[in-house]
Structure 1
Amino acid sequence: MTHGQTDLRIRRTHKLLQEAMIALIAERGFDAITVGDIADRAMVNRATFYRHYEDKYDLVAKIFEEMVNELINNMKPQQKKFHVQDPENPADIWVQLFTHFAEHADLYRALLGKNGSSWFADRVRDYAVTVILERKLYHDRLFGSDKLENAGMPPELPVVLLAHTLLGAITWWLESEKSYTPKQMASWFLSYGLYGYAHACGIDIPRSDGQCNREEMIGD
């Protein structure tokens, strides 16, 4: 068997196992399925499964790595830098991100939805936090590093909140199967990330000296 044929066979096996896992998650939930279940559904033996993956968690981890690599490789060079602009005209990187999740909706819906893997959701969220922190997206590119000295909370917390928001938006979008476009989702996510909950709800909170008017906010 040639090298090309071997690679094709490996890719086919991976695809069968991934599709089997997705179907089983939808039926039973991630926690309830076993390696044996996945192998049986894919119509391969357990030995074949273990030649490719250590366990079901390793299968999920490898899927995530493949998806991340695909997302990065498919981006144009200028898209690999996170440029934040007017939410009404989201940068290509954000549209590309939501497009990626839309193109693999069945996979992400299964893994992130109510029957999915909390371990996988944590992995995605942690990855988002790491990327944002490394690129200092939410700090330096938006407000300038000098503004961090006046921050009202630990610098890591806004990043964690943003990552939770991103994952929540993606999960809601995929599970609800709304016909919103990737560009719409990117626009709404950026609007929320840049201006917060009140702005997203259409609430104009008066500000004084750069601070929220608490009495106005709570209705006293």
Structure 2
Amino acid sequence: MTNNKTLDLRIRRTHKLLFDALTLLLSEKSFDNITITDICEKAMVHRTTFYKHFEDKYHLLDSLISQLVQNFEEKSTEQTPVDNPRQYYVNLFRLLLEHMQENIKMYSVGLLNNGSTIKVLQKIVVGRTKSRLESDEANGLIFLIPAPILSEFYSSSMVSLAIWWLENNMPLSIDEMVRYGDMLIDKLDTTDK
């Protein structure tokens, strides 16, 4: 009899093999030219096993991108809190750019094939930003603009700039992008309670 933990480990191992295979294949050829057979051969996984887990290569890609987005969310949650709200956004923007650069192939394919990736990324950044603003308010800062509006504005800007950067083959270094992002933020207007 197989217990659930062993089964879960087998599923995770199979997913990892297939994710790794797709990632390697993307460095060799375009997503459109990758077949299920290519993925299965690279992963050394039988086609029937593939279809037990995924409907097609697009489902595999969506799952892989979801995993990358989840990894970003975990990293952004671990973000070291800073006393300066502006610095927090600069750090979050840097983290987003670094994450996209580390996973460039997947994000390039994902952004082109699936607009929901952008929405998920933006939702994570909005959540982090809103949480931070609410924490700042609880600690005595009063923002001239309500926290939900600020979080939507800054989050949309960060994600849009990161996507522009990626879609244009990263024409600027991360440091340059962060510097420009910081200049755009300029300051978060607050008043003391």
TM-score interval w.r.t. the shorter chain? Answer: 0.5 to 0.7
- Higher mean alpha-carbon deviation, 158-167 vs 59-68, is at 158-167
CA displacement, residues 10-59 of structure 1 (integer Å, 9 cap, x when unaligned): 22211111111112222220112122221122111111111111111111
Partner of 1:12: 13
**2:120 matches 1:127:** yes
**2:179 matches 1:188:** yes
Identity of aligned residues (%): 23
Partner of 1:163: 159
2:47 and 2:144 mapped to 1: Cα distance? 53
Compared with structure 1, are the counterparts of its residues 20 and 191 closer, same or farther at alpha carbon in structure 2 (3 Å cutoff)? same
1:36 and 1:30 mapped to 2: Cα distance? 13
Partner AA of 2:106 in structure 1? L
Partner AA of 1:123 in structure 2? S
Is the contact between residue 34 and residue 56 of structure 1 (CA under 8 Å) also seen in structure 2?
yes
Partner of 1:68: 69
Compared with structure 1, are the counterparts of its residues 193 and 49 closer, same or farther at alpha carbon in structure 2 (3 Å cutoff)? farther
Alignment of 1:39-50 (within 5 A): 39-50=40-51
Q: Displacement of 1:129 after TM fit?
A: 4.5
Please tell me whether Structure 1 or Structure 2 has the larger radius of gyration of its CA atoms. 1
Compared with structure 1, are the counterparts of its residues 45 and 96 closer, same or farther at alpha carbon in structure 2 (3 Å cutoff)? same
Root mean square deviation, CA, Å: 3.9
Is the contact between residue 35 and residue 56 of structure 1 (CA under 8 Å) also seen in structure 2?
yes
The 3-state SS of whatever aligns with 2:86 is coil
Is the contact between residue 90 and residue 187 of structure 1 (CA under 8 Å) also seen in structure 2?
no
1:40 and 1:77 mapped to 2: Cα distance? 37
- Unpaired segments ≥5 residues, structure 1: 149-155, 196-220
Partner AA of 1:126 in structure 2? K
Partner of 1:98: 97
CA displacement, residues 130-181 of structure 1 (integer Å, 9 cap, x when unaligned): 55677887xx998725xx9xxxxxxx999766533221224534xx7x8x5x
2:128 and 2:73 mapped to 1: Cα distance? 15
CA displacement, residues 60-109 of structure 1 (integer Å, 9 cap, x when unaligned): 211222222233234447769xx8515xx75443343334335xx2xx22
Partner of 1:110: 105
